Structures are given as structure tokens and as C-alpha cells.
Amino acid sequence: MLRDADNDGAHGGDRERARDGDRRPRGRRGPSRRPAETFLLLLLLPALLPALLLGTAAPASAHAVLRATDPADGTVLRTAPRHVTLAFTESVGLLTDSFRVYDPANRRLRTGPAGHAADRSDTARVTLPARLATGTYTVAWRVVSADSHPVSGALTFSVGKRTAAPAALPQDRTENGATTALHTIARYLAYLSLALLLGTAAFVAYCRPPTTAHLRAPALAAAVTLVASTLAVYLLRAPYEEAASPTTAFSLSALTHTATTRPGRLLLLRLALLLLAAVAAVLLGTLRVRLPRRATLAAAAALAVALALTWSASDHASAGVQVPVAIVSSTLHLLATAAWLGGLAALLWTLRRAPGTAAVPPARVPARFSRLAFTSVVVLVVTGVYQSWRGLGSWQALTGTTYGRTLLAKLALVTALLLAAACSRTWTARLTRPAGAAVRARVPEPASGPPLPEFPPEPPPAPPLRLLRRSVLLEAVAAALVLALTTLLTGTVPGRAATESAPSAPFAATGVQTASVITIPFDTGAPGGHGKVQITLDPGRVGTGSLQAVVYGPDGGLATVPELRVTLTLPARRLGPLDTRLTDRGGYWSTPAFTVPLPGTWTVKATVRVSDLDQVTVSAPVRVTR
């Protein structure tokens, strides 16, 4: 019986060591923790690198999508146009060199300054020379969308007839790889440093670790990185918009131009806020003034919200539908992300620096962070659902667009992140469980006495602190992967914009008249009897306009046919067919005046006769607006 009591005491000592987090080194078990944690850190670094470098090798992808052009891309016009007009899905900013127009000989034309059509910010227009020679012209354009991303492209139109070889797009309008890479790295270093800075502040304010000396160096490094990356983004802003070399970043014209744009002013505001906070911190430290806790928290919260607004007011939330609500949602989303991911980094640093003889304070700190992380997750879910709806616009875009598929992958990783967070929360709850009453050894009783009372079951031992460290590391790995997919989403056209974009659609939403162009392939079945016919209805709306048609042969060049007949039918109203009565103009067919009486989806039928015996009738729909 005494031997049993001694054994119970020994086991009780083992249980006490387990409750203390297995802090006492026993043989080789203590040193074995470092290689495992180092291995997990090595896994974390490759996950962080894609978040900083993804997309640096690809051209910039903006969120203002070209919706329509006038003239339409590839149109053959009877007379030379006076303007080139572009319509986008959101407002755009113009550059000093937004349009470059090249003639059939690939020489650049002198054009008027770029402007907005009919004072609409979602359009861009340039005036062409009064006289244009016959042939194909190339228009290279570049604008800046409302979410601060540049977008560029090119279109062609022909006057009279196409040239044998359309003018090639000059290479000086392509993205500068060095500028794009440097701008992307600086931009996401700013995101990362903001999350670390604000997350560390939230961790100290709410979780109240027993000591904060070990967090001063990471917080200072995050603040310095935030200032440096913001300054780099400002310097690279003009070269990034103009697709120029990074060496032009320090020119006076580039710096002054950036200061006149909304993204540039917000970057300057961010630098001013950081400078003001640094000066205030230095003065308080020099004068040894200690502000009340509530005043300090209020000032820190105001600074955090102001810094977050410098992002949300210049990114995707600043364009599209419900802009005020979107800016509030984006600001809350960014603050919650910083509190969770930045606080997670601070917790990881605290656990690694936790003293081996004081397990209770570190156990209480993860418990507080668990509540902070749960609140952040709730905010992220609510704001994330709203931003997903705003970016997608429809359920079809969830699987039918690149943005939607990337979002699904991000949701899967967020689910894995929540599972890792649940594991951390479980370890935290077990670490903070109050210790049970001390277990006393059994005392021998007389054989004739009452039976010994049953002792309550022993609670399971608390997990070692190293298990919580590893769980937090796994959570950080999942968070880094989520950040990498977020990087991809910021460079992907939202599903709503991708769905709404229609290059050949009329300018109904912008009030600018444009042509509707359709191309219909045909094949008579005879040798050399195939090709395509391009039909242009100008303008593509109700009323009187012109209709032109061009026939292309098997080699893609202009083809001459003995007869071409085009009719329009409106099946929904049982109207038609209306004969357009085309006339051969020597290379193309046209009618100067044709009236479309009603809006709707018309069916265009083209009968192409390529010889005395071979002809075919083909059809395609065309949308006519009011």
C-alpha cells in the first residue's frame, strides 16, 4: 500500500510536469523541437514569396474593361471617321499619351489631345486628322482605370478597303517588365508591412502579453518597410502608368504628374500620416510623457482607420457599384486581415520567445488572441461575402470567369485556414484550463472499515506548449497561401466586369453612337467557295443609318462576288424580312439609308453567290438598341 502511494505521488509529479507544458528537458526530447519548427519555417518562406512576386512577370491586368469602340474593331468604313471613341465599364483617367494612331505605312499620325466623350468619365476620345488615306489604321491606347490600374490595348479600322498587311502594333506600348516587377513588389510589401504593424499593435493592446520588448524590433521594421515601400510605389507610379523605364521615376514631370492624380495624393497622405505618428512617438519618448490608455487606443485606432482608407479609396472599392458601402467594407476587411494575420505573427514571435519557466502568461495570451481572431474572422466573412457578390455579379461568373475560379480556390484555402485556427483554439483552451485539485495518496484503512471513496477521474494533461507553436505555424502557412491567392485576385478582371464587357456592343449606356459589326462564315461546298462576310450596321440603334458588307475569301483577303443580298428579321415581333438593297461599290457593298424600326435581337441573313451555280445563305443575330 505504501508503494502504491509512492507511485501515485510519482505519477502526480508527472502530471504536474505535463500541466506545466513539458518544460523540463528530458533526454533528447527538448532539443528535438527546434528542427521541426525550423522545417515549418522553411515551408512558410516559399509560401510568402508568391504573395510578393506573383504576377510580376505578366503584363498588368486592370479592372476597367473595354466595352465598345467607335469605329468598331476591324470595321471597313466608307468614309473616314473624325474621332476614335472608347467606352469602358468604369471611369478612366487619361494620360498625356493615351492614344497613338498609325497609318497604313505604320507612321504615327498627329492627333488632337485625348479627352472624354460627352463629358462622360467612362469614355476616352481622340480627334483624327481631317483627311485619311485609304487603308488600315492601327490605334494603340492606354488609360488608367478608377481602381488605379493602367489598361491598354489596340484596335484597327479601315477606310475604303483593307490593306494587304495591316499595320503591326508598335512595341513601345508594351509593359516594361522591370517597372511592373518593382511596382508589384513594393505594393505588396506595403500590404504585408501594414498587416504586421497594425496586427502587432492590436495584439499588444488586446492580448496584453507580459512583456512587449521582443515585439519592438518587428514593429519598427514593419513601420520602416511601410514608409519605404509607400515611397517606392509613389516614385514608380508614373512609369507604371506610362509603361516606361524605372529610370524615369525621378523626373520632375513624373513626380508632379503623380501628385495630381488621386492615387498619388492618397500615397502622399499615407506618408504624412506615418511621419506624423513617428514625430508624435519621438516627442512622447523624449519628454517621457505617458498618455492615458484610452487616449492612446483612440489615437492608434484613428491612425489605423486612416491608413486603411488610403488603400480602399484607391483600389477596387473606389469604382463600380455602391462605392461608399464598398469603401467601408474594404476598410473593415483590411483592418480585420491585419488584426488576424499581423496578430498571428506577433503571437508566433511571442510563443517562440516565451520563457521556459513561465507558461501561465503565454497561455493566457493565446486565449485572448483566440477571441481577437474569432472576431476578425466574423468581420472577414461578412465583408468577404459582400465583396465577392460585388465582384462577381452573378452565380454564372463564379465558375465561368477566371476571377470566380480563383475565388473558389481562395475559399478552399480559407476553409483550411479556419481548420488550423480551430486546432490552435483547442490547444489554447486546454492550456488555459484551471488545474484540478491536488490528488492525495490513498491511506490504508482497516479491513472491517468502510470502503475507500472513489477519486474523481483525472483531467487529461495539458498539451505541451510546442504543440501550440506548431499549430500557429501551420495557421501562418495557410494564411500566406491565402495572401498569395489574394494577390492573384487583385490582378484579375472581376467577374462582373468580364461578363458585362462586349467589344462589339453599342454604346447604349454611354450615349455615344457606334456601329454593330458581325462576321458570318459561309461555305458553298464548292472548291474555293468558302469565306466570311462582315456586316456593319451604323449606328447599331433604332432609326435610319447605313449598312455595309465586305466579303473575304479563303485566303482572308477581299473577295469579289457577283451577288450579295442581306435581309433583317425580328422574330419576336414577326417583322421582316426587310431587304437592305445593297449596292456593289467596288470592293464592298453598302446602302446609304436603311431604317431599323424597332429595338431587339434581329436576325441578319446574308445570301452570298460566288458563281453562276454556287450560293449559300447564312445568318447571325445582331442586337439593336433604342
Q: What is the pLDDT of residues 95-142, one digit of tens each?
A: 888 898 988 888 888 888 888 887 788 899 999 998 888 888 888 888
Q: Where is average pLDDT lowest: 1-10, 308-317, 471-480, 527-536?
A: 1-10
Whether residue 439 is predicted with pLDDT greater than 80 in this model: the reply is no
Least confident segment among 100-104, 347-351, 461-465? 461-465
Determine if the peptide bond prior to 521 is cis (ω within 30°): no
Where is average pLDDT lowest: 38-42, 183-187, 386-390, 565-569? Answer: 38-42
Measured distance CA(441)–CA(444) in Å, rounded: 10
CA gyration radius for the chain? Answer: 34
The CA distance from 117 to 123, in Å, is 6
pLDDT digits (tens, 9 = 90+) for 530-541: 888 888 887 777
pLDDT at 113: 87
Please tell me the predicted confidence (pLDDT) of residue 167. 47
Q: Angle, to 10 degrees, between the axis of helix 213-242 and the axis of helix 343-352?
A: 140
Identical fold, 66-175 and 516-624: yes
Q: 104-134: buried (b, 16+ CB within 10 Å) or exposed (e) per residue?
A: beeeeeebeebebbeebebbbbbebeeebee
Which of 563, 560, 554, 535 is closest to 622 using CA atoms? 535
Give the rounded distance of the alpha carbon of 218 from its chain centre. Answer: 28
**Kind and range of the H or E run holding 97:** strand 92-102
Q: Which of 607, 588, 611 is nearest to 527 (CA)?
A: 611
- Residue 269 has what pLDDT? 94
What distance in Å separates the CA atoms of residue 473 and residue 345, rounded to the nearest whole number?
A: 9
d(CA 136, CA 558): 13
pLDDT in tens, 37-55: 333 333 333 333 333 333 3
* d(C-alpha 23, C-alpha 113), whole Å: 73
The length of the chain in residues reads 626
Dihedral (CA of 222, 224, 225, 230) sign:
positive
Q: Looking at residue 201, what is its pLDDT?
A: 92
pLDDT band at 345; cut points 50, 70, 90: confident
User: What residue segments make up the domains of the chain, in order of their start?
Assistant: 66-175, 516-624
d(CA 16, CA 36): 25
Q: Report whether 360 contacts 431 (CB < 8 A).
A: no
Question: Is 70 exceeded by the pLDDT of residue 19?
Answer: no
Please, what is the end-to-end C-alpha distance for the chain in angstroms? 100
Rounded to whole angstroms, how far apart are CA atoms 497 and 71?
22
Q: What CATH class is the domain 66-175?
A: mainly beta
Q: How far is Cα 468 from Cα 73, in angstroms, rounded to an integer?
A: 60
- CA triplet 304, 308, 311: central angle to 5 degrees? 155
Q: How confident is the model at residue 276 (pLDDT cuts 50, 70, 90)?
A: very high
Give dist(CA 283, CA 148) in Å, integer.
Answer: 36
Using alpha carbons, select from 623, 579, 574 the residue that is nearest to residue 599: 623
561 has pLDDT over 50: yes
Percent of the chain with pLDDT over 70: 70
Cα torsion angle, 417, 420, 426, 428, sign = negative
Cis peptide before 71 (omega within 30 of 0): yes
pLDDT of 301 reads: 92
User: pLDDT tens for residues 318-329?
Assistant: 766 677 888 898
Mean pLDDT taken over the chain = 75
The closest alpha carbon to 302, from 327, 325, 322, 277, belongs to 277
Mean pLDDT of 518-526: 85
Topology (CATH level 3) of domain 516-624: Immunoglobulin-like (2.60.40)
For 1, half-sphere exposure in the C-beta direction (CA atoms, 13 angstrom radius) is 7
Give the pLDDT score at 224: 94
Is residue 63 very low, low, confident or very high in pLDDT (cuts 50, 70, 90)?
A: low
